[in-house]
Structures are given as C-alpha cells and as structure tokens.
C-alpha cells in the first residue's frame, strides 16, 4: 500500500482564512478536515453595545457581502421592534442586495475561480491558451472587463445607500435614503449598461433566451445553437468543463439549505418564484423534496471546534455562546468555525442551493440529474444574474413610477429578541439578536461559509466542503491543485495555496 500523505491547504479568502487537511491514498482523497484559521470575535465585540450597533459593526465582518450582513441585522431589528417596512423600503433593500450579489457572482467567477484555468495544471487542456487570454489576472480580456463592469453595478448601492462596501443605510423600519428621481434614473442606466454587457459577454444571448433553458438537454442544444453561445463566458465554461471533466468533480451529498431571498413588496408587478413573501423561497432540500424552512431546527455543534460551552454540545443560536479556548493547534478540535446543522444534517448553501430550493427550472433539473458538483455550483453562480436582473429592473421601475415612503418610524423597545435570515451572495446568512436594558445581550451569527466549511459534528458527519473533497483524484499529492478547485467552487473568495507534509 502506498504511503498516506497528509496535505494542508492553507486557504485565503475574504471572510477569514481556511485550511484543509487532506488524506490522500493512491491518488485519491480519502478524508478531509476543514479548519477556519482566523478568529475575529465579532459576537463578543457586539455584546453590551447599543441596540442599533449591529448595523454598523456586522457589515465589517465581510468586505464582499457587507450589504447582506446589514440586511440581516436590519431584519433582526425589524422583528424586535415590530417595525413595518414600507414597500419602497423593501424595494431599495432588494435592489441593493441584488446588486451586491451580482457583483459577487461576477467577481468570484471571473477573477477568482476562472483564474485557476490559467494555472499550468491545465497546460495540456485544448483550451488552455484561450483560458489565459481570458482570465490571466489583471490582464486577461474577461478579467479586465470584470474589473470595470462589476464596480459599475455597485454604483447603484452608492446612489441608494451612500457607499459600497460598508454602509448602514438599512435601519429597522426600512432605509434612510430618499432617492431623487434622477438618482433612480441613474441607477436604471447602470442596470441597462450591465445587462448589455452580461448578455453579450457572459451569456452570449438575451436573458429571455437563456431562461428558456430548462434542462440539461436544452443546455446542450443552446450551446450548439450559435457561435455567440460558444464564445460567451458561459459557453467557454461549458466547453472547458467538458474537456477537463469537471462535471463529476467535487460531489456533495446534495442537501441544500436556502434562506430564500428578497422580501416581496405588498404591491408589485415583479413575479416571484411561487411564494408571495419571498422572491426566491426559503427551504431545505434533501432527497428531492423541498421542505419549508424552520429556523428552530438550526443548531451549532461545538464538538470539533475551539470553543467552550457550558451547556449541551449543540445549541440553537439564541442560546449559543462564543467562548474561544485553545491556541489553534489541532486535535479532535480543529477549527474556529462552529458546525451548523439543520434538522441534524449538514447542508450546502450558495447560488445552486438557492436556485434549486426556489424551484428554478434549470438549476432544479441540474441539481436533480447531476447533483451538487463543482460544475453545477459554478454554473449556478454564472447564471444567477439572469434571474436577478429582471426583478431588479422591475423594482427600479416601480421606484421611479410611484411615490411612497421608504421608512416607517418605529417604537424602540428596551428588550426583545429577533432574528434576520437572508440569502447573502454565498448562501444562508442569519443573525440572532437579544436585547436587554437597551443593550445587545447576545448576538450570534451563522455565515454561509460556516455552513459550507463546517467541521464535523458529534456524529462525525463531515461538513459540505469536507464531504465534497472525498474521492477527488489528485495528480500530484505535493500540489493537490484539484482540491483547491473543488473548494473554490463553493466561492470561498480568494486564491488557494497548497502545502504538503509527508507523514
């Protein structure tokens, strides 16, 4: 039997750092452990602060999805104060949240993920040169266009919320902003411009044509239909994946969680995906069945992470504590990330989960026929904009057409508890907040990456990234490049570097 090699993948990303230890036997990953290796202690920073301070502090958790944290914080406060958000407030929250999501999907796909296609690992791939022409960092044609276009869509958030990243324009009861008609018309220019680029460059066809694709077979037909489809970024990804056999890689166990996304205004012409409350419905999808979401079923399991607890090993976030101990050296406990579980199970989140749970025909079909793999995760991220943009346009139009407030005043209460669940660009994000004596008593946050990069739980069940790494073929155990690719398909944001220790 060949020697077992233990590899460590120190992994840099926006929300912190990730390290993955792989056991490799005969060129195959047999086990993986995912460790969050940075701890910033936000939950404790928030304790004892003013009741609205989560609106300022939590966006600073993440530089690429700060608006989503803001939205979760504002929703938690809405529920604590019983604040009702008027329709225009909902519209502005949704428009800005979608703009951030679109930005993230573009940047992750073309700056962070596809950059791997330019790595010498793929030098024998027939499309290697095209990959380099497109995605060489800061030089490739698609990479440079992404730098230019992604910042433009964010101008919408500046016009409606002051700045991106890290504004605090959402407050209990709505948003503080009173945009002028010209601000809104500027936003509409931004969106039109972005749609044009997205259709020409990313899809190679109109969004309406893309959305006619409802199955794997439709997708194959679409690719063959026109040279524009093949030349587009999505077309390139399909061609590249085919030759590199990415479709089967990084298979997850196919349990998905989504907190849904974007609360529907009471009166709107925008059509939701079958749910009157949310544009994309929340739920938990396992074995082909989508169950409605019940936040009571969420717990964090502390059995393998470096946190102390005085109570049971699993806790609902309302009773959760965050007390770090140990120095970060490994044993049974190996992560600064807790292990979130839904109804006792780990769950994958992100664009694929969100769209499959909501019942998007194409992603629903691919999740069922192919499952959760590197390929479906990346494709969902590339295609999500086609779902979001038309709704974003619709709500901007409604903002332009109608008068109406975007903020309702509320009665601040000195005590209460509430939660805010939203879909951030990378998946399910929740804030659970308790207020007592006009101060934050506890504040627990579960980020999307906490779901995906979760360590094991007390039953020794692996988290989604860990599970998806098992069985990955590794050409060179000293440089397990393929593992990095699988990990990045979950959008952990930054480049991966790999390090191997022989044992």
Least distance in angstroms from the C-beta of 307 to other proteins: 12
Residue 8 binding other proteins, by CB under 8 A:
yes
Backbone phi and psi for residue 384, each to the nearest 5 degrees, phi listed first: -60, -35
In angstroms, the CA 250 to CA 372 distance is 8
Least distance in angstroms from the C-beta of 338 to other proteins: 15
Window 455-494: residues binding other proteins (CB under 8 A): 478-479, 481, 493-494
Helical ranges in 215-329 per DSSP H: 216-225, 227-231, 233-244
Residue 166 near residue 158 (C-beta atoms within 8 A): no
Among 131, 157, 280, 353, binds other proteins (CB under 8 A): 157
In angstroms, the CA 503 to CA 265 distance is 58
User: Which window, 25-33, 58-66, 358-366, 467-475, contacts other proteins (CB under 8 A)?
Assistant: 58-66
Residue 167 binding other proteins, by CB under 8 A:
yes
User: Which window, 24-32, 53-61, 200-208, 214-222, contacts other proteins (CB under 8 A)?
Assistant: 53-61
What is the full DSSP assignment across 92-127? HHHHHHHHHHHHHHHHIIIIIIGGGGGSGGGTTSTT
Least distance in angstroms from the C-beta of 120 to other proteins: 9
CB nearer other proteins, residue 162 or residue 274: 162
Q: How many residues bind other proteins (CB under 8 A)?
A: 90
In angstroms, the CA 139 to CA 61 distance is 30
User: Which window, 155-163, 240-248, 295-303, 394-402, contacts other proteins (CB under 8 A)?
Assistant: 155-163
Among 22, 32, 52, 391, binds other proteins (CB under 8 A): 52
Exposed/middle/buried for 188, CB within 10 Å: 0-12, 13-18, 19+? middle
Among 29, 64, 90, 282, binds other proteins (CB under 8 A): 64
Least distance in angstroms from the C-beta of 258 to other proteins: 24
CB nearer other proteins, residue 141 or residue 214: 141
In the three-class reduction of DSSP (H, G, I as helix; E, B as strand; rest coil), residue 136 is classed as coil
Peptide bond into 165 cis (omega under 30): yes
Window 305-324: residues binding other proteins (CB under 8 A): 324
Residue 185 binding other proteins, by CB under 8 A:
no
Cβ-based neighbours of 223, under 8 Å, separated by 6 or more: 229, 230, 235, 238, 239
Among 3, 26, 28, 63, binds other proteins (CB under 8 A): 63
In angstroms, the CA 57 to CA 219 distance is 43
Residue 417 near residue 117 (C-beta atoms within 8 A): no
Window 236-295: residues binding other proteins (CB under 8 A): none
Helical ranges in 198-320 per DSSP H: 207-210, 216-225, 227-231, 233-244
Tally of residues, the chain: 503
Tell me the C-alpha to C-alpha distance, in Å, between residue 279 and each of 207, 300, 310, 434: 18, 28, 40, 28
Residue 40 binding other proteins, by CB under 8 A:
yes
Least distance in angstroms from the C-beta of 450 to other proteins: 15
Among 22, 32, 154, 363, binds other proteins (CB under 8 A): 154
Number of C-beta neighbours around residue 220 at 10 A: 13
Residue 155 binding other proteins, by CB under 8 A:
yes
Residue 164 binding other proteins, by CB under 8 A:
yes
Among 6, 127, 176, 461, binds other proteins (CB under 8 A): 176
In angstroms, the CA 488 to CA 20 distance is 12
Exposed/middle/buried for 400, CB within 10 Å: 0-12, 13-18, 19+? middle
Among 29, 55, 388, 450, binds other proteins (CB under 8 A): 55
User: Which window, 46-54, 257-265, 348-356, 394-402, contacts other proteins (CB under 8 A)?
Assistant: 46-54
Nearest-5° angle of CA 438, CA 444, CA 445? Answer: 125
Dmax over CA atoms of the chain, in Å, equals 73
Residue 147 binding other proteins, by CB under 8 A:
yes
User: Which window, 226-234, 355-363, 371-379, 405-413, contacts other proteins (CB under 8 A)?
Assistant: 405-413
Residue 359 binding other proteins, by CB under 8 A:
no
Among 329, 403, 437, 460, binds other proteins (CB under 8 A): 329
Residue 128 binding other proteins, by CB under 8 A:
no
Among 4, 21, 119, 239, binds other proteins (CB under 8 A): 119
Among 67, 68, 94, 118, binds other proteins (CB under 8 A): 118
Among 279, 334, 395, 407, binds other proteins (CB under 8 A): 407
Residue 86 near residue 406 (C-beta atoms within 8 A): yes
Among 168, 290, 454, 472, binds other proteins (CB under 8 A): 168
Residue 56 binding other proteins, by CB under 8 A:
yes
Sheet with 256-258, edge to edge strand ranges:
256-258, 283-286, 289-291
Least distance in angstroms from the C-beta of 170 to other proteins: 10
Least distance in angstroms from the C-beta of 428 to other proteins: 19
Residue 325 near residue 285 (C-beta atoms within 8 A): no
Residue 197 binding other proteins, by CB under 8 A:
no
In angstroms, the CA 385 to CA 149 distance is 13
């Amino acid at each position: 039997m060949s020697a077992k090699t233990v590899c460590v993948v120190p992994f840099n990303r926006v929300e912190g750092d990730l390290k993955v230890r792989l056991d490799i036997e005969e060129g195959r990953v047999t086990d993986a452990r995912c460790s969050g290796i940075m701890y910033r202690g936000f939950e404790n920073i928030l304790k004892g602060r003013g009741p609205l301070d989560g609106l300022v502090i939590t966006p600073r958790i993440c530089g690429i999805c700060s608006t989503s944290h803001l939205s979760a914080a504002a929703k938690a406060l809405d529920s604590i104060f019983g604040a009702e958000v008027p329709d225009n407030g909902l519209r502005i929250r949704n428009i800005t949240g979608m703009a951030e999501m679109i930005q993230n999907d573009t940047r992750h796909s073309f700056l962070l993920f596809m950059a791997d296609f330019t790595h010498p690992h793929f030098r024998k791939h027939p499309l290697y040169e095209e990959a380099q022409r497109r995605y060489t960092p800061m030089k490739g044609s698609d990479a440079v266009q992404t730098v230019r276009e992604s910042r433009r869509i964010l101008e919408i958030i500046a016009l409606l919320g002051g700045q991106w990243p890290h504004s605090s324009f959402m407050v209990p009861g709505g948003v503080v902003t009173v945009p002028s008609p010209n601000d809104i018309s500027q936003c509409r220019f931004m969106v039109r411009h972005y749609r044009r680029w997205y259709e020409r460059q990313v899809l190679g066809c109109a969004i309406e044509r893309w959305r006619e694709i409802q199955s794997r077979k439709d997708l194959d037909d679409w690719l063959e239909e026109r040279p524009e489809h093949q030349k587009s970024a999505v077309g390139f990804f399909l061609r590249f994946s085919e030759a590199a056999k990415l479709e089967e890689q990084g298979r997850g166990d196919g349990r998905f969680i989504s907190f849904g996304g974007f609360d529907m205004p009471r009166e709107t012409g925008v059509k939701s995906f079958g749910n009157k409350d949310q544009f994309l419905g929340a739920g938990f999808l396992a074995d082909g069945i989508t169950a409605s979401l019940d936040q009571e079923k969420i717990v964090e399991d502390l059995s393998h992470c470096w946190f102390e607890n005085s109570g049971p090993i699993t806790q609902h976030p309302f009773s959760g504590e965050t007390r770090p101990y140990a120095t970060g050296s490994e044993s049974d406990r190996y992560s600064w990330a807790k292990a979130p579980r839904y109804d006792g199970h780990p769950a994958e989140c992100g664009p694929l989960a969100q769209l499959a749970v909501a019942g998007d025909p194409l992603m629903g079909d691919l999740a069922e026929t192919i499952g959760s793999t590197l390929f479906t995760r990346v494709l969902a991220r590339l295609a999500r904009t086609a779902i979001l943009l038309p709704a974003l346009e619709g709500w901007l139009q409604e903002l332009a057409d109608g008068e109406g407030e975007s903020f309702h005043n509320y009665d601040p209460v000195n005590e209460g508890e509430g939660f805010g669940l939203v879909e951030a660009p990378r998946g399910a994000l929740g804030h659970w907040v308790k207020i007592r004596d006009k101060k934050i008593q506890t504040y627990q946050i579960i980020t999307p990456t906490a779901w995906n990069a979760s360590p094991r739980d007390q039953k020794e069940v692996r988290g989604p990234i860990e599970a998806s790494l098992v069985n990955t073929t590794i050409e060179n155990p000293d440089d397990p490049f393929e593992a990095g690719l699988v990990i990045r398909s979950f959008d952990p944001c930054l480049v991966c570097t790999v390090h191997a220790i022989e044992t």
